[in-house]
Structure 1
Amino acid sequence: MQESQTHSFQKHALTEIFNRYYWLQIGLIALSIVVGIGCSAWIIKGSLLKTALEQEMEHYWSRVARDPDADLPDTKNLYGYRWNTRTPPQQFRNMHLNIGVNRIWVDGKERMTVYGEKNGQHVLLVFGESNVNKLVWLFGLAPLMFSLFILYSFLWWSNRRARRYFSPITRLANALEHIDWAHQKTQASPFQDIYTNGNMEAEYLKQALEKYHDVLSEFIQREREFTGDVSHELRTPLTILKGNVQLCQARYGQDKVFTRLNNTIDDMQLLVDTLLAIARNTTQHIASEQMLLSEIIDDLVDSLHAVSQSKGMQIYVQQDTSEQLRNLYPSMTKMVLSNILRNALNYSQGSEIQIIQQKHSLLIADNGIGINLPNDAKVQELKSTALGFEIKGHGIGLQLVEKLCKQLGWRVELFDREYYMSIHPELNLAANTGLVVVVYFY
């Protein structure tokens, strides 16, 4: 568990942000070092050396003024050539020299030189640039590398201190995010192995989270025990009812009323199991079946026949002729569609309901008074928080329909009927007032 928390901590957003800024600082510092060395070399070569060579030339001409036979400079970094107009050195005979500081090819290398001419005497001073490059890198780079080492050491130390401060908080947040509530009864507190390293704020936060975890775990346990008791209490009368109906069928024969009662009890048992599975968040254990959606629709229409007759409404079904088997959860599918149909029967105040089955969707349209969608919209996704109003309907209600559709991976949208018919004229439905509910299957 501790290893998984550490692995998750390394991927935590706060840690990634911290590491990003840390390496950004290092990159900027390295860039500043390179720019600094480049600027230093440019200043030394482009300005200081040029000025120094010009001054060396002026100094040499002043020596020649005092002593016409003055020797040329001959040091490790500076040497020169002198000739008269008639006898230039062989390597300079075909070369055009400009007065002042220039870079020319001398002695097999391109070197920095200064050229001057007075009274028929030509002087070319050559600077030993390679030696100065060594001095630039030695006295320029070495101090910068030393300062970089000191600065990186401080950044490393500050990073360690910051990690020590943030690490417990990020690990606490990550542990809270990854609590397995389905098996929390058999597991210890996810916060007990997180060490706060003397961080008082993190220690207080850890204690508060442990108390919150204990309270919430007890609440979840009580809720599970309650749903288990409810499940038992609901199944008992349904079992008794089913047994009595079967006795009546055995005694009085297969009457249509008994058959309907028996089917209704089966639906109720399936409904109880599904609702309890949703309450316990164990819907993955509900069995799915390969079946036709039209079979569920026909059963619903048949079971709602008495209601539609009492309301004076007709239900018309248009099936998909190319329908194929689907992987469906019968109980959950029945609950969603039954709730939508019963709401249309009870509250639309129309004369008919049309069910149109399509390849990837199911359309349920009524010709009643419709509803006012939020902000005068013509279409709205079925979300209780987004609609801004409550629909008082039969059965499990709007919020549970929304939750069931989320579990099934479906999407439900509400349309103003006139608007929907204007964008789908191929359906051949009258553009009356009313509501169109479209269930999209994925």
Structure 2
Amino acid sequence: MLKSKLSRGHAHPLTEMFNRYYWLQIALIALSIVIGISCSAWVIKSSLLKTALEQEMAHYWQRVQHNPQADLPDTKNLYGYRWRSATPPSRFENLSLQSGTHRVFIDGKERMTVYGERNGQHVLLVFGESNVNKLVWLFGLAPLMLSLFILYSFLWWSNRRAKRYFSPITRLANALENIDWSHQDKQDSPFQDISSNGNMEAEYLKQALEKYHQVLSSFIHREREFSGDVSHELRTPLTILKGSVQLCQVRYGQDKVLTRLNNTIEDMQLLVDTLLAIARNTTNTLSTEQRLLSHIIDELVSDLEVVSQAKGMMIDVQHPAQEQPRALYPSMTKMVLSNILRNALNYSQGSEIHIIQQSNSLVIADNGVGITLPNELKVQDLSHAQLAVNAKGHGIGLQLVQKLCKQLGWRVELFDRQYYLSTHPTLALKNSSGLIVVVYLN
């Protein structure tokens, strides 16, 4: 089943990324053009105009040498003033006129001017700067913006034309990404309604994906049928055994061995259900119970009493003074703790195991030989794959514990015993070699 909201209502992330870069490119180019034109206008005003006005003044003095009555420049962009008296005209009395080019406030606006004096004649040339601004923006910015508009309009049209060839691949990627395999029927193909629009490569890809989907759906269907058959075959002998044990209890009474055997069969039934749920990725179908973790620990210690006595090891349990019930999956919780305890009994080569229950964690410590952690670390997260290879005897059990803890939302870490006790001095344990497993509960 496809998630139509994602595939129809939203663009593919790849398409969104290209759109973002497309508009970002336009914005950056427009910004660079504005900055470039502004810098060009500044250069024209500060350097080119200064040079042009100085040349205009020099040209005027050359004309005066040939003709003392030569007229001042008088164009749309350049005009001037001259006087022969020592004091400037009244309109220039407040101006501090100095030889050379300067920006002064004249004729109601700050303008670029050039001032000079020869043979008692004072000349002030004024440039009509506002016209330059209009020319810069008219002949600089406008043509560039028009050319960019034409260019990107063509790119937009090309992109729209190209979508008929590229969009089928995007839709195929959306369909593949949003398949819900847990509810996928093998007869329904999520790619059958996607048109390739004459794109041969997209058509070949569509056919390959349909074939892949059919094969994978068939495999999932067979795996589910096999899991159901295995589940049935495992439950049947367990049910027979449980019925036989109950008959023995009725005939011979509540014997301790029969009670333990009955409890073990119930645990096996929970174990089968849990393993099948994990294999099918349907752990959400398992029900939680409000249980005290201490009761589950005590049950495990009681079940492992025969093993601990055979190994000559003592199991010491420390429960908190006050404990609140937790929402637990009993079968999965027992599997996690049972694997850790059995590993400690079978491979630690120690004499005692301490189980210390805390508010949000569980500490399981042995005084055996310990294990060599990768890279000589003193602490290692259980998800590290190298640990399962290097730690003989712990690999398979710890891999199962890792999968179960992932389903429970727990986290497990392995510590060197001496290192852990040095960082947790409040823990009442002897400082010796060994391994400490800490289960962090959710």
Residues paired across the two proteins, number: 439
Map 1:312-351; keep pairs closer than 5 Å.
Answer: 312-351=312-351
Query: Which segment is superposed worse, 381-390 or 314-323?
Result: 381-390
- Deviation of the 1:409 alpha carbon: 0.8
Structure 2 residue 6 is matched with structure 1 residue 4: yes
Map 1:175-254; keep pairs closer than 5 Å.
Answer: 175-185=175-185, 188-254=188-254
Q: SS state of the match for residue 363, structure 1?
A: strand
Map 1:283-322; keep pairs closer than 5 Å.
Answer: 283-322=283-322
Q: SS state of the match for residue 323, structure 1?
A: coil
- Deviation of the 1:362 alpha carbon: 0.9
Any conservation in 2 of the 1:111–1:127 contact (CA below 8 Å)? Answer: yes
Query: Which segment is superposed worse, 317-326 or 1-10?
Result: 1-10
Query: Which segment is superposed worse, 99-108 or 46-55?
Result: 46-55
Aligned-residue sequence identity (percent) comes to 75
- Deviation of the 1:326 alpha carbon: 1.2
Map 1:6-25; keep pairs closer than 5 Å.
Answer: 6-7=8-9, 9-10=11-12, 12=13, 14-25=14-25
**Distance in 2 separating the partners of 1:74 and 1:422:** 95
- Deviation of the 1:399 alpha carbon: 2.3
Any conservation in 1 of the 2:354–2:365 contact (CA below 8 Å)? Answer: yes
**Distance in 2 separating the partners of 1:419 and 1:55:** 86
- Deviation of the 1:21 alpha carbon: 2.9
Structure 2 residue 262 is matched with structure 1 residue 262: yes
Partner of 1:280: 280
- Deviation of the 1:134 alpha carbon: 1.9
- Deviation of the 1:170 alpha carbon: 4.3
TM-score (norm 1): 0.91
Specify whether residues 87 and 408 from structure 1 end up closer, same or farther in structure 2 by C-alpha distance, changes over 3 A only: closer
**Distance in 2 separating the partners of 1:187 and 1:83:** 101
**Distance in 1 separating the partners of 2:237 and 2:94:** 119
- Deviation of the 1:344 alpha carbon: 1.6
**Distance in 2 separating the partners of 1:358 and 1:216:** 46
Opposite residue 272 of structure 2, the aligned amino acid is: V
Q: SS state of the match for residue 111, structure 1?
A: strand
1:226-260: CA deviations, max 9, x gaps? 11111111222222222222222223322222222
Q: Which runs of 5+ in 2 are unaligned?
A: none
Specify whether residues 48 and 309 from structure 1 end up closer, same or farther in structure 2 by C-alpha distance, changes over 3 A only: closer
**Distance in 2 separating the partners of 1:133 and 1:166:** 46
Partner of 1:46: 46
Q: SS state of the match for residue 425, structure 1?
A: coil
- Deviation of the 1:281 alpha carbon: 0.7
Any conservation in 2 of the 1:317–1:354 contact (CA below 8 Å)? Answer: yes
TM-score (norm 2): 0.91
Opposite residue 82 of structure 1, the aligned amino acid is: R
Partner of 1:363: 363
**Distance in 1 separating the partners of 2:39 and 2:366:** 79
**Distance in 1 separating the partners of 2:47 and 2:351:** 96
Specify whether residues 98 and 229 from structure 1 end up closer, same or farther in structure 2 by C-alpha distance, changes over 3 A only: same
- Deviation of the 1:384 alpha carbon: 6.3
Q: SS state of the match for residue 322, structure 1?
A: coil
Query: Which segment is superposed worse, 197-206 or 71-80?
Result: 197-206
Any conservation in 2 of the 1:384–1:398 contact (CA below 8 Å)? Answer: no
Q: Which runs of 5+ in 1 are unaligned?
A: none
Any conservation in 2 of the 1:291–1:327 contact (CA below 8 Å)? Answer: yes
- Deviation of the 1:317 alpha carbon: 0.7
1:322-356: CA deviations, max 9, x gaps? 22211111010001111111122222222222111
**Distance in 2 separating the partners of 1:165 and 1:4:** 21
**Distance in 2 separating the partners of 1:275 and 1:347:** 24
Opposite residue 313 of structure 2, the aligned amino acid is: M
- Deviation of the 1:359 alpha carbon: 1.2
Specify whether residues 88 and 428 from structure 1 end up closer, same or farther in structure 2 by C-alpha distance, changes over 3 A only: closer
Q: SS state of the match for residue 370, structure 1?
A: coil
**Distance in 1 separating the partners of 2:382 and 2:56:** 89
Structure 2 residue 390 is matched with structure 1 residue 389: yes
Specify whether residues 177 and 66 from structure 1 end up closer, same or farther in structure 2 by C-alpha distance, changes over 3 A only: same
1:107-142: CA deviations, max 9, x gaps? 211122222222211122222222232222222222
Q: SS state of the match for residue 432, structure 1?
A: coil
- Deviation of the 1:408 alpha carbon: 0.4
- Deviation of the 1:278 alpha carbon: 0.9
Specify whether residues 365 and 51 from structure 1 end up closer, same or farther in structure 2 by C-alpha distance, changes over 3 A only: closer
